[in-house]
Amino acid sequence: RKGKGVVGPFAFYYMAGRVGDGSSERENSRAGQESTGGLKKRSFEDHQQQQGGGEGARKRERTEKNGEKKMGSGEIDEDLHSRQLAVYGRDTMRKMASAHVLVSGLKGLGVEVAKNLVLAGVRAVSLQDAGTVEAADLSSQFYFKESDVGQPRAQCCATKLQELNPAVKVSVVEGSSTTKEEEAFLSQFNVVVCHDCPLEKAKRWDKFCHEHQPPIAFIRADTRGLFAQVFCDFGPSFVVSDVDGETPQVGIISSISNSQPALVTCVEEERLEFQDGELVQFKEVEGMSELNDGKPRRVKNVKAYSFELEEDTSNFKKYLSGGLVTKVKEPKTLQFKPLDECVADPGEFLLCDFAKIERPALLHVAFLALDEFAQKKGAFPRPGMAEDAEEFVQMCHGVNQALSQSSKGAFQKQELDEGLLRKFAMISRGDLSPMATFIGGIVAQEALKACSGKFHPIFQFFYFDSIESLGDTPTFEDVQPVGSRYDGQIVVFGQKFQQKMEALNAFVVGAGALGCEFLKLLAMMGVACSKNGKLTVTDDDTIEKSNLSRQFLFRQTDIGRSKSEVSGQAAQGMNPQLNIASLQNRVCPETEDVFNDSFWESLDVVINALDNVKARLYVDMRCVYFGKPLLESGTLGPKCNTQVVIPGLTENYGASRDPPEKQAPMCTIHSFPHNIDHCLAWARSEFEGHVEKAPSEVNAYLEDVAAYAANALKQADGQTKEQLEQVVDALCASKCTTFSECIVWARKVFDEYFYNRISQLVYTFPEDAKTSNGSPFWSPPKRFPRAIKFDCNDPVHVAFIKSASVLRAQVYQISIPEWCHDDGQFQQAADSYQTPEFQPRSDVKIETDPKATNKYSSSFDDASVVETLLKQLEPISGELPPKFRLCPIPFEKDDDTNFHMELITSLANLRARNYSIQEVDKLQAKLIAGRIIPAIATSTAVATGLVCLELYKVLQNVPLESYRNTFGNLSLPLFAMAEPIPSKLFEYNNMKWSLWDRWIIEGDITTQELLNWFSTRGLTTYSISCGQALIYNNLFPKHKERLDKKVLDIVKTVAKLEIPEYRNHFDLVVACEDDEGEDVDIPLVSVKFR
């Protein structure tokens, strides 16, 4: 998709659109800057104990209680892993939780892999590294400190890794000296991941793992400067149960022919994504019931809304109506070859950059030659050493020749780029944190695939380079190590570059999952690690338990604390030289006094780590205004994307927009749902209406009865009428004073929602109803509903009564009895209520127009109804205690003690029963109704590693063709890289400009002087505006009076612009035309008046 780095040949792959940050811990409305303000959240414990304290204290207490829950064997902590469960599902998580993984080699890449595996929740991670910590290791190994130099690597990071997830056993293991001991050692593990492992040793380990029964998955990976390799061998017959992780598409059938082949047509609600040759299953087909046998059937000739079956249905019963068709995911068996065979016959490489189609084969030769060089010399080529580089190039020629001969044609002799190979050799001792982070995310995901069979693995080699990050090759003297923690970076980029890095003034917006990774990376790279540099991070959010599975800088004890504060302290702990300022401000127009002009002007680079588009667009706008580079990224489950925005070179983030998400019509949600998403959307809406919106409306009325009444009479529309009806209902008809009354209320709601309303619907539209054109009213996608009566023995019925009663009591601040967890009490109380017989009415109007958007129905007598309702309230409001208020309860999905998800799940499932829709469990309901964004640590690591590789380029002012925007999907796996789209250039009268330009006019000028400034450039100004106010237009005669007035005075009086003391300019939007009367798009104009 345009603007996200996946263009041209990559557009097909950009399935996720503009993906957001998986760190989102708020539903979309809250992420979109609509906070719940000061509304008080009240959990069940709050009512039981009547404890005070702020929301942060309650959140800490609530999550500590959740954290204390003891998980049984095989159980998954859903509070902790909810975002990850949305990606993998329970079965995959259970498989991962039974896996034991060996990570051999604990430098930067090794610790990244181990970190991601521990966060994911495998059963055990064993660490092996016989080496000791060196100063250069601190370039990328974030758990090493300078005091660890000389100590064993594995022991120095084991404790920190264990802190990430107490449920995972992290241990240090020793190597083996004999072959027999080595084989016994390897037999303990399900997956073996090795780094810095010589080729011959890797071949030996892989051979044993490949032949072991059952096979042990083997992964070898290395980063060498700006180059990396990954090799996977999961055994001779590895089954992938789910190749992409996507939810199988479901089509709603409208017709099936009796023919060979059978033609199946679906309703034109959503294009079919089936492919020819795939399998599908049918269910709920009426008439042609032979298709309901559960047998998978192959499809062909797939069109947008139809396909053919490879089956003769001529003798089947005639299709009547209904039916769903679902894509069947077929398992895929991969036959991996051992490393020894793959060296000469590597097969197809996983390609990530179509500008480098020949690069993987070249790097295959280079990494083999590097192994040979290290075996011969005992070390890699020396930094910047031309002699070593030449010897390495000759070895590459030898390897290239030997491979082409020994492979018998499987590996074609390559045209070797000697210049690139020399660079490879000269930086091969480099150890860069962004490379370790990027490859560490990929390798950890491959290990999880091996554990679970979920997602398609790399088959079998992946080579990567970011040589464009190098810029101009530094001098020999500049790249010599100096004995510092940054030596792993210095040997690649040089000491002068390192000094530039340390003097950077950077701004990280957000401290969630992306933010934590960025802060770690920047600390390792040495960003803002001198007295002249500064790193500012801001985030107004606090830490919750569900953050801990990805946001690795946080611990259980940090719950309730500020994200930016804790992450800043953790990053500084990784590199004490880091000069960081942690703020708790949201970046938005309301905080421009904090993030003022001088702040933005002082920045060298901005890195977004946000979880919503609105905030991203605002930061993008500020970066364009002040001409600052912006590094953008986002994740969605296993998918991620990165975008680099460079002043004067690329288009900005906001230059392209995704189409709005498709919303179900209002009538579908309210009366004609046909999938569980519709039921959950309705349940969430009803939940908020009863426990938050209606109580808030009551409080607004009670706060100032006279003012509320006056405003209601003034508005007197459908919305006002409905709001008043809620107030009357809450204070009159449905007011509760005891817990028993809350139970009766819940039972009445049950009858109203699931019996009365459904009975009314089928009375208005009987099963045989016809539309105006004579076709069946209840044709797909509509599903004919059936009313249900309360059954005290049905657990879902009781769950609704219990959760609704408890929340009703909380709204009315009624004491909740100790027996509230006893379902029997609720069964007895709810069943004893005598339901009045429901009589459907003929005058009820039910909306059927899918284009209708106004949920408030208006009528001619709205004003009189509003007046009547207000009169009903007059005596009641006078009888209430002066301080009587209800307690609105905002939705909180991550608290298992508050009955919120219990109510929403039961509401949705009961509605699903009405319409014969498959029900969901509480976790599925939480993911959908809670609008939880799927998120995993691995895709976060991949995105942030790629972004920081672009940061290297930003510091060196490389040309446009050196930058890369990336879309990645770890499930496929797919990495699609492309050059950013250049910014659009405008030309007129020998002037050139783009969106990055701003025309600055100095002086406290008059309107006429402003017009003259443009006329000297061949432009005629016909309109000038400031904000929403029109300052000047040549069509208005009165505006001629403004020509001699100062523009500053006009914007103050007309536009009501208040210019703060720290700002010395104001902005104008000027509309101009050329000599022929054609409009000319010009940049924003700033008048610098002081």
Known catalytic residues are 667
> Which residue, among 162, 158, 167, 187, has the nearest Cα to 97 in the 3D structure?
167
Tell me which residue has tokens 């009820």. 844
Q: What is the H or E stretch that residue 368 is in?
A: helix 359-377
**Cα–Cα distance measured from residue 321 to residue 289, given in angstroms and rounded to the nearest whole number:** 11
**Cα–Cα distance measured from residue 515 to residue 510, given in angstroms and rounded to the nearest whole number:** 5
Q: Distances from the Cα of 1006 to the Cαs of 930, 1012, 1040, in angstroms?
A: 55, 10, 12
In contact, 964 and 47? CB cutoff 8 Å: no
> Which residue, among 593, 516, 707, 568, has the nearest Cα to 22 in the 3D structure?
516
In contact, 625 and 642? CB cutoff 8 Å: no
Residue 686 CB coordination number (10 Å): 17
**Cα–Cα distance measured from residue 306 to residue 460, given in angstroms and rounded to the nearest whole number:** 37
> Which residue, among 325, 285, 336, 331, has the nearest Cα to 302 in the 3D structure?
325
> Which residue, among 750, 741, 763, 902, has the nearest Cα to 821 in the 3D structure?
902
Pairing of strands 262-266, 250-256: antiparallel
Query: What per-residue string of b and e applies to 99-120 under the rule 16 or more CB within 10 Å gives b?
Result: bbbbbbbbbbbbbbbbbbbbbb
In contact, 284 and 255? CB cutoff 8 Å: no
**Cα–Cα distance measured from residue 975 to residue 352, given in angstroms and rounded to the nearest whole number:** 5
269, burial (CB in 10 Å: exposed 0-12, middle 13-18, buried 19+): middle
Q: What is the H or E stretch that residue 227 is in?
A: strand 227-233
Residue type (1 letter), 559 = I
Cross-strand pairs, 217: 191
> Which residue, among 123, 121, 922, 105, has the nearest Cα to 550 in the 3D structure?
121
In contact, 450 and 104? CB cutoff 8 Å: no
**Cα–Cα distance measured from residue 573 to residue 523, given in angstroms and rounded to the nearest whole number:** 9
The alpha carbons of the chain give a radius of gyration, in whole angstroms, of: 33
**Cα–Cα distance measured from residue 769 to residue 775, given in angstroms and rounded to the nearest whole number:** 9
- Looking at residue 1040, the DSSP 8-state letter turns out to be G
In contact, 17 and 658? CB cutoff 8 Å: yes
Written as six digits, the tokens of 871 are: 């009169």
In contact, 123 and 168? CB cutoff 8 Å: yes
In contact, 325 and 246? CB cutoff 8 Å: no
Residue type (1 letter), 451 = C
**Cα–Cα distance measured from residue 3 to residue 653, given in angstroms and rounded to the nearest whole number:** 7
**Cα–Cα distance measured from residue 604 to residue 183, given in angstroms and rounded to the nearest whole number:** 53
Q: What is the H or E stretch that residue 239 is in?
A: strand 238-240
Cross-strand pairs, 256: 264
**Cα–Cα distance measured from residue 457 to residue 333, given in angstroms and rounded to the nearest whole number:** 11
Tell me which residue has tokens 């590094």. 631
Q: Distances from the Cα of 1088 to the Cαs of 216, 385, 1065, in angstroms?
A: 69, 53, 4
- Looking at residue 812, the DSSP 8-state letter turns out to be T
Q: Which residues contact 749 (CB under 8 A, 6 or more apart)?
A: 690, 804
- Looking at residue 304, the DSSP 8-state letter turns out to be S
**Cα–Cα distance measured from residue 630 to residue 3, given in angstroms and rounded to the nearest whole number:** 14
